[in-house]
Structure 1
């Protein structure tokens, strides 16, 4: 979901149309903020008169896990600071918009923020995040998944503290797999086998096909699993090259079309997001689903409260993300949350200390156990408590290790939005034309020659 920290260098140029990679002037954050008329004034955060400073941590919605960590780290500080939380909207795009409003206005009250990894480079490039020092970075990245570290950096510097890392697994109903005559745990299990098996067994393949970031996650993972990349030379900013019109992009398009036009597709595929896909999977004709690990704990909770039959969780199996090309290892999606520090905070030292506390290994474990979101340190997955609650812990760890992050670029929202606009709805995707049209369209969006 959310991303992290931003450096102060170059802050004087913010809002002045300073050149950015690729010769483009201004960043998506600044252009969006300017459109909202937000660069004229400055917001002031809630300060504290006397006593320890109060840090405001903007969090993505959860079931109270981040608020609990805020309370625990407040206590652990020994009176050096207090942390209060402020909840962001549900969607990653809406979260970004709210942060844009505040950061563009140089809000000094935005001390900490939970960020989707794909927004780190954008926020860092705009000067909105405090850069961690080398010493701070060493502590925050020691023993952390490489993909989580990579996604928290921009231009080789750390702008976010990895908090939790995430990936997607293939979830299947054991009864459906048996009826279909397929083994999702087989070494070379493919998307084609899964779709064909679902059709044969009269079950569904639940996916996130709505026009939102979850759909981009699917597209990127398919392209990566086929040996391709959505974007080459992302460091070139607006001059980066979209590379979908090739065998990898065409394979991704073929699979999306195959599912969307098959009897295995949900009738609401084009509007389904994660929890709708989970509901589809839990239905009487549910068969297969690719989704994040949180769904396992969510299903256990729903079964306990009577929302779904207890027989549903007992029927759930799990396997690695399906292959696009048989024999070619898949590249599962990478997601999670990075913890950033606002560039305009008045409490640098306290915010860094709080980030170190929140992202410590014990707190990552605690958050994983309470919220179902995997920690960013591999060591957690060997913990007896974690293995007991997540019997697929080793698979999650190995999937994160082989996961492929989405493009790391300051212009990620434009890249993602441009691709989604040409690949949605899923049933309209054509492997012969969609990748080519996308390669032609997105560069024009990046150069302000076309609108999304």
Structure 2
């Protein structure tokens, strides 16, 4: 990439919150005039992302936001259609980590090489986030923000159950504590991607994997390992919650949002809930409002701890999510697009996303920054960064979409999960899907 000769319109601020209107689809300007780089984003954090697009525009190019659908599946479909058609106007993309292997394997991403690769993945990037942007030993995207799940809970509920939350707790302990003390357990068990996130974390927490990590990049030839003792232990946790009075009424259709209200119910002791990092800012913004804590004192009853262990004594593997910035392989301005990708994923950009939107950093230095120290409790920041650094990604496969759908097909409904049959049935079906012998 050529040496930069222009200045940015303004430095990216740590607390920017101004709203810039969404740009109409502009495409690239070609040989005449100033080019426009289209940045396709998902709906999370739009205000700050619009500000980043303005701040990271330069005298050489503008960045225009293009909004993708809310559904991750629809996001993938829209981007894949554009890239399969060699669309040159797809310059920058906000990608769910599980889409990166598929897009890289298809040749749809411009790789970061040499000094650029070193800037994208320096020692400041947390390990769990770094793993999601590498394919075939090449850096194919830039981590922008990282996500993980922790165990959120009412301190009063844990105290009533006699749980020492300063020490690791297991899923069995959490389910029993809730069931015996008028509480519930909130999870994501609808037939969609987040249910696979839960299954994957349970299996990895028992020392296993859905696919053999040593063969996962082999595509259709990857070794399926979900039919294992780890798979059985994962199924046992789901079965236990399904049969427990701690299961919430909408257990089979639960998602990231449905269990939020159970933390501060009109009746009952509250809940233990595994969910993403947005929860803290969500409840902080709901103090005194419907669905949130009644007052500051009730908000202070919100606790957080490491993701529960599947097997007592074996470290849990918290889920890894977030957003990576990909540069389209067919952009007319790859140098500009990679330069822009570095700006919108910089430490300053990550600080703004964390403070304004609750979208947590992929860089340790941002967790250590004074801006985040003012916005979040110190022990929560430490928990987030530790969970991202030691968390477990979903299978890094170019066929992840089929893998996820195959698992959903055999593990849903969660009320029908059986440790003695579900892992085996899902392994057989997954193998057939990968070999092209079965349809989803």
User: d(CA) in 2 for partners of 1:100 and 1:357?
Assistant: 24
- Which moves more between the two structures, 92-101 or 275-284? 275-284
| CA spacing shift, 1:410–1:280, aligned 2, 3 Å | same
What is the root-mean-square deviation of aligned Cα atoms in Å?
1.5
- Which moves more between the two structures, 229-238 or 378-387? 378-387
Tell me which protein shows more helix as a share of its residues: 1
User: d(CA) in 2 for partners of 1:307 and 1:195?
Assistant: 23
SS at the partner of 1:318? strand
Identify which of 397, 401, 404 aligns with 2:385: 397
Gaps of 5+ in 1: 1-43
Identify which of 66, 89, 92 aligns with 2:49: 66
| 1:171 aligned onto 2:157 | no
Deviations 1:287-313 (A, max 9, x none): 100011111101111226565223542
Give 1:44-443 correspondences, 5 Å limit.
46-48=27-29, 50-63=32-45, 64-74=47-57, 77=58, 79-142=59-122, 143-187=124-168, 189-232=169-212, 233-284=215-266, 285=268, 286-303=270-287, 308=292, 309-310=294-295, 311-391=297-377, 392-443=380-431
Contact 2:260 2:291 (8 Å CA) reproduced: no
User: d(CA) in 1 for partners of 2:103 and 2:309?
Assistant: 33
User: d(CA) in 2 for partners of 1:426 and 1:184?
Assistant: 27
User: d(CA) in 2 for partners of 1:108 and 1:226?
Assistant: 44
User: d(CA) in 2 for partners of 1:185 and 1:171?
Assistant: 13
Deviations 1:138-184 (A, max 9, x none): 11111211222221111000111011111111000112112222223
Q: Report what 2:17 is aligned to.
A: none
Q: Report what 2:22 is aligned to.
A: none
SS at the partner of 2:234? helix
User: d(CA) in 2 for partners of 1:113 and 1:279?
Assistant: 33
Give 1:21-60 correspondences, 5 Å limit.
46-48=27-29, 50-60=32-42
- State the TM-score, normalizing by the size of structure 2: 0.89
Shift of 1:93: 1.4
User: d(CA) in 2 for partners of 1:147 and 1:180?
Assistant: 33
Shift of 1:223: 0.5
Gaps of 5+ in 2: 1-24
User: d(CA) in 1 for partners of 2:262 and 2:83?
Assistant: 38
How many aligned positions are there? 405
- State the TM-score, normalizing by the size of structure 1: 0.87
Shift of 1:57: 0.5
